[in-house]
Structure 1
Amino acid sequence: MESDEMQNFIKVWLAVIISLCHCYAIRNIIPIGIKRLLFVLPVVCLFLYLPINIFSPHLGGTTAFFIAWLANFKLLLFAFGKGPLSADPSISLPLFVAVSCLPIKIHKNPPPKTPLNHQNKENPPPKPYQNGQTKETPSRKPREGPLNYAIKGILVAILVRVYDYSDYIHPKIIIVLYAFHVYFLLELTLAISAALARTMLGIELEPQFNEPYLSTSLQDFWGKRWNLMVTRILHPTVYEPTRNFCARVIGREWATLPAVFGTFVVSAVMHELMFYYLGRVRPTWDITTFFLLHGFCLTAEIALKKMIKDKWQLPGLLSGILTVGFVMTTAFWLFFPKFMECRIDVRAFEEYAALGAWVRNASESALRIWQGDRPA
């Protein structure tokens, strides 16, 4: 990785921190609403521009996701007194900066159950998740822990070595390997960010993934298992306003359907933007097609559930196979080929090679120094 790229990365994040300090300073000065929005919009525009200065797929892609998507959506909520940045008026500056641009959400421990609140509060009316879906049976708690992430880190390293023999591997198999690589790398990136925030700020954080390969429906996959930070940020910024608006026209029950589809439209736009940052190539709209297809299918799934009212459902094993199969098939068709089109894979492997060479040289230098300091 070139030194200029690292310098650009540092400059970008210095600009991000300064901009977020500005937002923190105005929170008690500028009133909520249009006035605060006018002070926040220049920061939003800056955050859309800054990722263009980083070409590295790892540094640039992560930065783009953190600031152009997560931070911007949180700042728009902040302008109107909503979202995680407005939840605690006494929030400290370091915590404000971390929550703004990192994929974290402070976990609030529920109060201990007593017989009274067990009866009255354990089963509240179901609330919609991202994309409008109503909560289903709670999913299993994700398997967190150092061992889980260490295994995935080892698998990423193995995949990188396997790519050295890509000339002897069928292209379809390579795409399958890319799918696992993207999932493992994304989960590790988000987990590392959460761990740093936990270590530096002493806060408990909610998980970012919940075993998406165990999904039993599109509703389960997109709402409760895949990239939960995006789920949480799209719900108040897109789903809720769309549902509230449509409820005046078609009623609250069916307003969830256009709200779901509208959420996927925004998600499609943001993913196209992320791939532009990664590849700097003209959009082919395959990514948009992927998310609109899933938005349409999820909308149809929710409508069907409303009509049959859980009177009939597929066995869990069969529905899981169909769900994961549909997600993987459409991803291989529309999503993962974009990585090769943008040459993200080639550039990423070049970075892996550069990092490996740096680690090897650093290890050899440290060994020479250690041997030189030993007594004869």
Structure 2
Amino acid sequence: MEGEILNFIKVWLTVCISLCYCHATGKLIPPGAGRFLAVAPIVVLFFFLPLQLTSIHLGGSTSFFIAWLANFKLLLFTAGDGPLSAEPPLPLRRFLALSCLPIKILQNEKSCPNNNRSDTTLKPKSFLNYSIKAVIVALMVKLYDYSEFIHPKVVLFIYSWHLYFLLEIILAITQFFGRNVLGIELEPQFQDPYFSTSLQDFWGRRWNLMATNILQPTVYKPSVKIAAKVIGRKWAPLPAVMATFLVSAMMHELIFFYMGRMRPNWECTWFFVIHGVALTVEIMVKKVLPEKWRLPPAVSVPVTLAFIFPTAIWLFFPQFVRLKLDVRAFEEYAALVTFVKNVAFSLVG
């Protein structure tokens, strides 16, 4: 644990120094090929840095923050687009935070002249909401002690909720950091996905909105422009959706590799391919079907969840078992407790 924490500090010091360089580059080099060539080595570096970490919590979160979020934002930055390309230029500390943390500043139309905002502003949830979810996570962890008496598929179902609640709590901590250290209000990254009325609602407006917000300008919108020249504007979103899901699949496979150091078996990719195809069909149906014929929420919500959960338990969550991420996560909890105790005893002694 001591060695991993030391490596974690080294990695994030490297990240901060690299992002300071990118911030300075943005002031000296205008968007275009020159800025891309200057920033490209940092993008390559950010793909290699997570390999310095082996833990689930430190390595997994770091790989998502820098190999996915930071790299995609930096690529947008080279083109003068995205959250890092504000006018006037962002202060350094805000540039560092927005580069690699899963946050998005709440903005109104007057403070957002470039229209870099969501169509709907999401309100942060209450402290009570997160407290209840923290208690649920604790109960789920205790429930794993009896996993040998529970069907494996039920365990995976429980683990899926465990992961969701844990992600919400981690991102709430990030929001607290942004509010109290940076002085900015941040949008929540989940919006009650268990109320999704469709796959489009789930992936576009409720689930992991930071990934959605970064995939939209980097993959979806460019794909729409290209496809519109070939098949027309009306149907251009269809191949763009598939392209977005394929890129998301590759990034998830990469993050699983960082955490498990095992070759992918491509089940995760098939999960995103199936959802991409299903969402494409859903969009096609919506384009040809009058709105009055669509299913009411009382029906569409259970139907949507009945598609999401089985496919996730079939193809997505088994990756956690295959890579033994759940077992290693609990080992890390125990190692962290031991590490904290040793530090406390050394300070007292």
TM norm. shorter chain > 0.5 = yes
How far apart, in 1, do the equivalents of 2:183 and 2:236 lie? Answer: 40
Name the structure 2 match of 1:297. Answer: 278
Q: What residue in structure 2 maps to residue 330 of structure 1?
A: 311
Q: Deviations for 1:134-164, whole angstroms, at most 9, x for unmatched residues?
A: x8xx79x556022111222222222222212
TM-fit CA distance, 1:353 = 1.8
Q: In 2, are the aligned partners of 1:142 and 1:209 still within 8 Å (CA)?
A: no
Which position in structure 1 is the counterpart of 2:78? 79
Alignment partner of 1:307 out of 283, 288, 298:
288
Question: What is the rounded CA distance, in whole Å, between the counterparts of 2:185 and 2:76 in structure 1?
Answer: 22
Which residue of the partner structure matches residue 62 of structure 1? 61
Q: Give the Cα–Cα distance (whole angstroms) in 1 for the partners of residues 251 and 38 of structure 2.
A: 23
Structure 1 residue 365 displacement after superposition: 8.5
| Stretches (4+) displaced over 4 A | 358-366
Deviation at 1:290, TM superposition (A): 0.2
Higher mean C-alpha deviation, range 172-181 or range 286-295:
172-181
Equivalent positions of 1:268-283 (< 5 A) are 268-283=249-264
Q: How has the CA–CA distance of structure 1 residues 128 and 95 changed in structure 2, closer, same or farther, with 3 Å as cutoff?
A: closer
For structure 1, list consecutive stretches of 5 or more residues without a partner in the other structure: 113-126, 130-134, 370-376
1:167 deviates by 2.1
Distance 1:215 1:290 in 2: 18
Is contact 2:107–2:117 with CA below 8 Å preserved after alignment? no
Bigger Rg, which one: 1
Is contact 1:65–1:274 with CA below 8 Å preserved after alignment?
A: yes
Give yes or no for the alignment of 1:249 onto 2:249: no
* 2:329 aligned residue: 348
Partner of 1:316: 297
Q: Distance in 2 between matches of 1:357 and 1:169?
A: 29
Gapped regions of structure 2 (runs ≥ 5): none
- 1:142–1:179 Cα change, 3 Å: farther
1:142–1:210 contact (8 Å) kept in structure 2: no
Residues 35-184 of structure 1: pairs in structure 2 closer than 5 A:
35-110=34-109, 144-184=125-165
Aligned to 2:186: 205
CA distance in 2, matches of 1:228, 1:279: 25
Are positions 1:238 and 2:219 aligned together? yes
Question: What is the distance in 2 between the residues matched to 1:42 and 1:167?
Answer: 48
Contact 2:249 2:268 (C-alpha < 8 Å) held by counterparts: yes
Deviation sequence 1:330-357 (CA, Å, 0-9, x none): 0000000100100101110101122334
Cα distance between partner residues in 2 of 1:248 and 1:67: 33
CA contact (8 A) 2:124 2:187 kept: no
Q: Distance in 1 between matches of 2:49 and 2:67?
A: 8
Distance 1:37 1:365 in 2: 48
User: 1:261 and 2:235 equivalent?
Assistant: no
Q: Which residue of 2 aligns with 1:121?
A: none
Q: Deviations over 1:216-238 (max 9, x none)?
A: 00000000000011111111000
TM-score by length of 2: 0.93
Instruction: State the SS of the aligned residue for 1:91.
Output: coil
Question: Residues 142 and 211 of structure 1 are in contact (CA less than 8 Å); yes or no, is this contact kept in structure 2?
Answer: no
Contact 1:217 1:319 in 2 (8 A): yes
Q: How far is 1:165 from its partner?
A: 2.3
Residue identity in the other structure for 1:313:
R
Deviations 1:259-289 (A, max 9, x none): 1111101111111101101111010000000
> Within 1, Cα distance between the matches of 2:334 and 2:251?
30
> Shift of the alpha carbon at 1:309?
3.5
The 8 Å contact of residues 214 and 320 in structure 1, kept in 2 or not, is answered as: yes
Deviation at 1:251, TM superposition (A): 1.1
Report the equivalent of 1:119. Answer: none
CA contact (8 A) 1:78 1:86 kept: yes
